[in-house]
């Protein structure tokens, strides 16, 4: 219920492609396609498969737009519960707990493409987010299959204090309605930094603290080939320990809400695919060895996509992937998705801009938040590739739907149904093996 671009193949941001598709094929057909997409994306067969792997908890990311319109704020769209309730019920049938993750809040809680930016500068956006959690808590109060609420995904507050004030408010608002469900608070700066939280935890009961432990070794821009040397493993552990340091000093509960490498695809990486993915599995195993030693609970990112990171992914032979094969190859070449981008084909285009900034801006003024998590090249990439160039691709993406009737739209959406998807067996076996280890610990 939060369609990140690399997961489903669109360019830019979700609000852009929803508007473009409605303009291209009409609002009725557009709504039909997106509703069918959500229907097929997670069904009973998905829940059964997930449970059979030995996994017992799944994080459900969702976009506030399912529950509220920006032009009609604070009016609950009950239709938003349609698919969220359905997935929670399906998971409960197979003894899977769910954690509700507000991945996109009104105004945008971080600087990245999946949120847009603004919530920290506008109190009304914060008020609307709290209002939504009051509604969600009232709806799900007493549901034993919900493990808890994750009120805000990956906040990025440059001042490091407003996020704590917001957590105070949302905690009190939820607790006024629901005193039983656990609350999972992400650290600031993409769930990596609790260093400014001080003694805030003393006001929050039944609360866990969520890190997102991605390693650069699991991505195309890795600093070096990962072979598991002592220094590389030390770097893995240090990055992880730094994220959880505040919790460990206070004896608090830590949860790894997102983590995991991305994977090569034969249509892009060719003969190197298997070799690349073996390296990524090595990173995965070494991270799990760290987590198992600490008996850390985790939720892998992610369950299903079009072949980049998911445990399950849409087949290249499906109607959707066939229809968009050329467009997706273009997106990959232009590196318009921020997540795990391979910029090798276009770096020569953007390097002059990076050099221009290096030449004209004094070093002490270059580290704009969220540096050092974002390097200069990351900021240039977000603004130039992932916003500017991606925006020009939005209508091109929507044009692929022209002339399609509802039956054809249904076939496209059905490409995401479990029975038509491929399974990333290497990843799933590693997760199963380690889920059993945690269970027996």
Which residues are the active-site residues?
A: 154, 258
Buried b (16+ CB within 10 A) or exposed e, 27-52: eebbebbbebbbbbbbbeebbebbbe
Q: Of 221, 77, 204, 212, which is closest to residue 148 (Cα–Cα)? A: 204
Q: Are 153 and 129 in contact (CB under 8 A)?
A: no
Q: Residue 370: is the preceding peptide bond cis (ω within 30°)?
A: yes
Tokens 């992400």, residue? 186
Round to whole Å and give the CA distance between 169 and 147: 21
CB atoms within 10 A of CB 439: 9
What pairing do the DSSP bridges indicate for beta strands 421-423 and 312-314?
antiparallel
What pairing do the DSSP bridges indicate for beta strands 304-305 and 312-314?
parallel
Which stretches of 169-310 are assigned E, i.e. beta strand?
182-186, 207-212, 254-258, 297-298, 304-305
Tokens (6 digits) for 61: 């990311």
Round to whole Å and give the CA distance between 216 and 109: 23
Q: Are 335 and 342 in contact (CB under 8 A)?
A: yes
Helix (H) or strand (E) holding 103, with range, is strand 97-104
Round to whole Å and give the CA distance between 176 and 182: 13
Which residues fall within 8 angstroms of residue 395, CB to CB, at 6 or more apart? 20, 24
């Amino acid at each position: 219920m939060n369609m990140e671009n690399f997961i489903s193949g669109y360019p830019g941001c979700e609000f852009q492609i929803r508007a473009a598709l409605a303009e291209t094929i009409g609002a009725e057909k557009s709504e039909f396609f997106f509703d069918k997409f959500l229907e097929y994306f997670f069904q009973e067969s998905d829940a059964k498969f997930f449970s059979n792997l030995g996994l017992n908890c799944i994080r459900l990311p969702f976009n506030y737009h399912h529950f509220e319109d920006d032009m009609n704020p604070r009016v609950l769209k009950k239709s938003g519960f349609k698919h969220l309730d359905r997935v929670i019920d399906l998971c409960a049938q197979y003894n899977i707990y769910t954690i509700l993750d507000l991945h996109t809040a009104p105004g945008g809680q971080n600087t990245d493409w999946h949120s847009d930016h603004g919530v920290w500068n506008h109190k009304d956006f914060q008020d609307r987010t709290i209002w939504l959690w009051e509604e969600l808590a009232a709806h799900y109060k007493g549901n034993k299959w919900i493990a808890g609420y994750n009120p805000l995904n990956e906040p990025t507050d440059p001042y490091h204090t407003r996020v704590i004030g917001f957590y105070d408010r949302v905690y009190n608002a939820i607790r006024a309605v629901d005193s039983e469900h656990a609350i999972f608070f992400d650290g600031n700066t993409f769930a990596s930094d609790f260093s400014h939280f001080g003694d805030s935890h003393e006001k929050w009961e039944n609360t866990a603290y969520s890190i997102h432990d991605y390693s650069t070794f699991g991505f195309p821009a890795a600093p070096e080939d990962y072979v598991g040397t002592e220094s590389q493993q030390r770097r893995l552990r240090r990055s992880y320990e730094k994220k959880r340091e505040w919790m460990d000093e206070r004896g608090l509960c830590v949860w790894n809400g997102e983590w995991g490498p991305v994977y090569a695809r034969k249509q892009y990486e060719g003969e190197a695919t298997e070799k690349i993915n073996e390296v990524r599995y090595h990173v995965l195993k070494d991270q799990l060895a760290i987590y198992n030693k600490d008996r850390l609970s985790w939720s892998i990112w992610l369950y299903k996509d079009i072949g980049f990171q998911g445990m399950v992914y849409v087949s290249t032979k499906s109607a959707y992937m066939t229809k968009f094969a050329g467009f997706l190859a273009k997106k990959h070449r232009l590196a318009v998705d921020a997540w795990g981008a391979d910029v090798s084909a276009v770096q020569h285009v953007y390097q002059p801009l990076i050099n221009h900034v290096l030449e004209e801006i004094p070093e002490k003024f270059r580290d704009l938040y969220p540096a050092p998590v974002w390097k200069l090249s990351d900021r240039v990439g977000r603004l130039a590739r992932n916003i500017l160039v991606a925006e020009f691709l939005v209508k091109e993406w929507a044009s692929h739907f022209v002339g399609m009737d509802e039956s054809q739209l249904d076939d496209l959406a059905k490409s995401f149904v479990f029975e038509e998807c491929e399974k990333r067996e290497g990843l799933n076996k590693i997760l199963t093996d380690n889920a059993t280890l945690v269970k027996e610990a």
